[in-house]
Amino acid sequence: MTGPLPVTLPPMRGELLSSWISRHADFYGVTPLTMLRHGLPEATSLGAIDLSLTKAQADRIAGMFGVSPKFVRSLSFADAPKAARRFIAKSPVQHCAHCIDTDIGSPPILRSELQGWRITCPHCGELFQDKTTSDGDRTLAPYRVAARRGETLLHNHTERGVETWLPPLEIARLLLMRRIPWPPPRDCDFWRYRLLGAIVPDFDDLLTKESASAFSPKHPILPLHIRPALLAGVAIIDHAGPPMLKMLQGHMMGDNKTRFVMATDHLVTPAIEWGPPQQMQLI
Ligand SMILES: [Zn+2]
C-alpha cells in the first residue's frame, strides 16, 4: 500500500467518490483511472467504486488520501440498500442551480445528482432542474406536499437506514408494475397503465406525453417533472398501510398479479383482520 498523497483537495459537500478522485487526477495531471490505481492497483473502472466499494478498498483509498474509511464510504453508495442501485443513474440526471459552483472549470459531481428518486437538493432544499420541460409541475401541484414526504421517506431509507413496514424503494418499484385499466382504453396503449395511476390518476395522462415508455420496476428512474407522482404514491401507500396493497391487487391480472401477490402477500394477509382500507389522503 502506498502512503498518502503529498497534496489532497477537500471534497465538495455531497461530492461523489469518483468525482473527488477525478479532481485529484486533474490536479496531478494523470488519468482518473491512473489516480485510482495509485491506491488500488487492480482497479479496472473508476465508476464502479461508487456503487461497489468494498471495505478493503475503502481502507486503501482512505490511506491514500489521509482520511477515515468511514468518510470514503460516505462519498460512495456503498452503504445504500441494494434496491437503491436501480435508482442511481450512471451520470448526472439533475442539478441544483443554487448549489452549482460556476467558478470551477470542471464542476464536481454530487451524489444527489445521480439519485433518480430525488426532486429537491438535499443541501439547500431547492427543486432540482434537468433538461426536460416542466409540464408536470402544474398537473402534479396537488401532490407536491405528498411528494416531499415520499422523498423524505426515500432519503431516510437509503441514506440513514430507517426501516418502515415496507421499504419505500420497494413501494416505488411496485407502483411501476403494469395494471389493467377498466374499462379498457380505446387506444389500447396498455403499456402506460401502471399501478401508480390507480393512486395518482394524473399519472396515466402524464405518461402519454412521454416519448420513452421504458419505465418499469427494472428501470424506475422517471424524468424529473413526473417524478413527484411516484414520490407521492410512495407517501400515500406508506401512510395507508397494507390494506392499500390489497386494493392494488384488484387492478392486476395474470403473471403480473402473481408477482405482485408474491411480493406483498405477507403484508396483505394480516391486514385483512385490521378492517377496511383507510381513506386515501392527499395531505
Ligand atoms: Zn442546492
Answer yes or no: do 173 and 239 share one domain.
yes
Domain ranges, residue 183: 136-274
How far does residue 100's CA lie from ligand 1's centre (Å)?
7
Gap between the Cα atoms of 21 and 19, Å rounded: 5
3-state DSSP call for residue 194? Answer: strand
Return the half-sphere exposure (C-beta side, CA atoms, 13 A cut-off) of residue 270: 4
Question: In the block, which residue shows the cell 411516484?
Answer: 230
pLDDT value of position 162: 95
Output 150 or 2, whichever has higher pLDDT. 150
Specify if 115 maps to a domain.
Answer: no
- pLDDT tens profile 223-266: 999 999 999 999 999 999 999 999 999 999 888 899 999 989 88
Specify if 141 maps to a domain.
Answer: yes
Answer yes or no: do 162 and 262 share one domain.
yes
pLDDT-above-90 percentage for the chain: 65
Q: How many domains does the chain have?
A: 2
How far does residue 120's CA lie from ligand 1's centre (Å)?
8
pLDDT value of position 283: 40
pLDDT value of position 2: 61
Answer yes or no: do 73 and 182 share one domain.
no
- Give mean pLDDT, residues 203-227: 83
Answer yes or no: do 156 and 263 share one domain.
yes
Specify if 5 maps to a domain.
Answer: no
Is residue 164 within 8 Å of 139, Cβ to Cβ? no
pLDDT band at 149 (very low <50, low <70, confident <90, very high): very high
Number of H helices, E strands in the chain: 13, 0
Angle (CA) 187-192-198 rounded to 5° is: 105
Specify if 113 maps to a domain.
Answer: no
Task: Examine the pLDDT at 208 and tell me if it is beyond 80.
Answer: no
Specify if 204 maps to a domain.
Answer: yes
How far does residue 95's CA lie from ligand 1's centre (Å)?
8
- pLDDT tens profile 98-135: 887 666 667 899 999 999 999 999 999 999 998 765 55
- pLDDT tens profile 171-195: 999 999 999 887 777 776 777 789 9
How far does residue 109's CA lie from ligand 1's centre (Å)?
13
How far does residue 122's CA lie from ligand 1's centre (Å)?
7
Specify if 39 maps to a domain.
Answer: yes
- Give mean pLDDT, residues 80-88: 92
Which residue, of 79, 96, 126, is where some domain finishes?
A: 79
How far does residue 182's CA lie from ligand 1's centre (Å)?
42
Task: Examine the pLDDT at 211 and tell me if it is beyond 80.
Answer: no
How far does residue 133's CA lie from ligand 1's centre (Å)?
20
Answer yes or no: do 157 and 265 share one domain.
yes
Task: Examine the pLDDT at 282 and tell me if it is beyond 50.
Answer: no
Answer yes or no: do 255 and 171 share one domain.
yes
Specify if 101 maps to a domain.
Answer: no
Answer yes or no: do 56 and 150 share one domain.
no
How far does residue 97's CA lie from ligand 1's centre (Å)?
7
Answer yes or no: do 270 and 145 share one domain.
yes
Is residue 119 within 8 Å of 127, Cβ to Cβ? yes
How far does residue 114's CA lie from ligand 1's centre (Å)?
14
